[in-house]
Amino acid sequence: MIDVFEDSLLDMPLLNTHKMRLSRYNIGMDTTNTEDQQDVQHSENANLRPHKLKDYIGQENVKKTLKMFIEAVKKRGTATEHVLFYGPPGLGKTTLVYILANELQGEIKITSGAALQKSGDLAAILTNLKDNDVLFIDEIHRIPKPVEEMLYPVMEDNALDIIIGKGPSARTVRLPVAKITIVGATTKLALLSAPLRDRFGLILRLDYYQDKEMEEIIVRSSKLLNLPITDKAATEIAKRARKTPRIANRILKRARDMYEVDKHEIIDEQLLEKLFSLLEIDEVGLQKIDRKYIKMLATKFSNLPVGIETIASALSEDQQTIEEFIEPYLLQLGFLKKTPRGRVLTTQALKHLGISVKQNDVEQPTLV
């Protein structure tokens, strides 16, 4: 419930920040170029996104489940369940939300958990929605507790509870809300409270893509960007994209830069060889900091177990960067082991960089 005197419904959030026009404050200031650049970037990302479920590549189980959900909603004529997507970043959660809204033939309203700081923010959004609309809350785990609790009756009863007045004269009013589909997306499912998580009727996890699926995504994106590319070049990009479409598209756009600047006729292996050398990406997608991490453990510490604080000091990086940016992909490749005593490289990691370490040093010492 919310107090309309404390959280005024007039304090409405700006849902689509790319449409903001700060003309009141732009005294003698020309922002045309900045806005044009943002519009171009937004247009590119939107153009690369598929609009239909049948055009979406990969995540076959998720697609089958969503197809059944969409067909059931169309048959009933109204949405009765809400959807939660979770998984690592860059795998297509936002794209699936756009597809879902398009298939349900409703408008999509976008906000984020961090933007919903007050109950009035959420109330202002909900009162402007229509039946079959989709409310997408990105990074939903960042919603404050009072706003989260306000969502409960909306998700279950399509109702919004507010309090009018204060003290003995205060009274509760329940306002009807349109029959909408609330879609949440998060990279950290564990940070969602159990009451909120259990109110989603459909919880779908997006996993990393297969190499073949990555190649299909790259070929599709190159066609949308009008870029000629060889099959071998698409394979090479897929190898370095860390099984993540966002990274694949990012590499492809940098290849487009080199293709246009150096006036190449096609994106092939020769162009990519120069590009990967410039970006310092090796054949399995390791970047300079990743190789530095491996070499440090292998040479400085003879591949003996090392704690995270020691690694952070040796690399001059903070612990969070190491744990959330560097180590996950090394663990995924099987290059790193986390033991109770510290981090240890696997033989596979040493072979990849051609580092020779004594076998006795590689194995963890036996505890007596």
Residues taking part in catalysis = 93-94, 138, 187, 246
Q: Which of 170-199 are b and which e, b meaning 16 or more Cβ less than 10 Å from the residue's Cβ? A: eeeeeeebeebbbbbbbbebeebeeebbeb
Query: Hey, which residues does 171 pair with through a beta bridge?
Result: 164
Kindly give, in sequence order, each residue whose CB lies less than 8 Å from that of residue 306, ignoring residues fewer than 6 positions away. Answer: 297, 342, 343, 344
Contacts of 311 (CB under 8 A, 6+ apart): 293, 296, 297, 322, 343
Is the dihedral angle over the CA atoms 260, 262, 263, 269 positive or is it negative? Answer: negative
The token pair that represents 39 in the structure block: 């519009």
Q: 190 vs 85, 165, 283, 310, CA distance in Å?
A: 13, 37, 33, 28
For residue 62, the Cα-to-chain-centroid distance in whole angstroms is 16
Yes or no: say if 137 and 184 are a contact pair by the CB < 8 Å rule.
yes
Per the CB < 8 A criterion, the answer to whether 59 and 92 are in contact is: yes
CA pair distance 109, 277, nearest whole angstrom: 41
Using CB atoms within 10 Å of the CB of residue 90, give its burial: 0 to 12 exposed, 13 to 18 middle, 19+ buried: buried
* d(C-alpha 77, C-alpha 71), whole Å: 10
| Residues whose CB is less than 8 angstroms from the CB of residue 345 and which lie 6 or more positions away in sequence, other chains included | 294, 297, 298, 303, 335, 336, 337, 362
CB-based contact 85:97 (threshold 8 Å): yes
For 160, the 3-state DSSP assignment is strand
The span from the CA of 302 to the CA of 331, in Å, is 19
Query: What does DSSP say about strands 181-186 and 171-176: parallel, antiparallel, or unpaired?
Result: unpaired
Length of the chain: 368
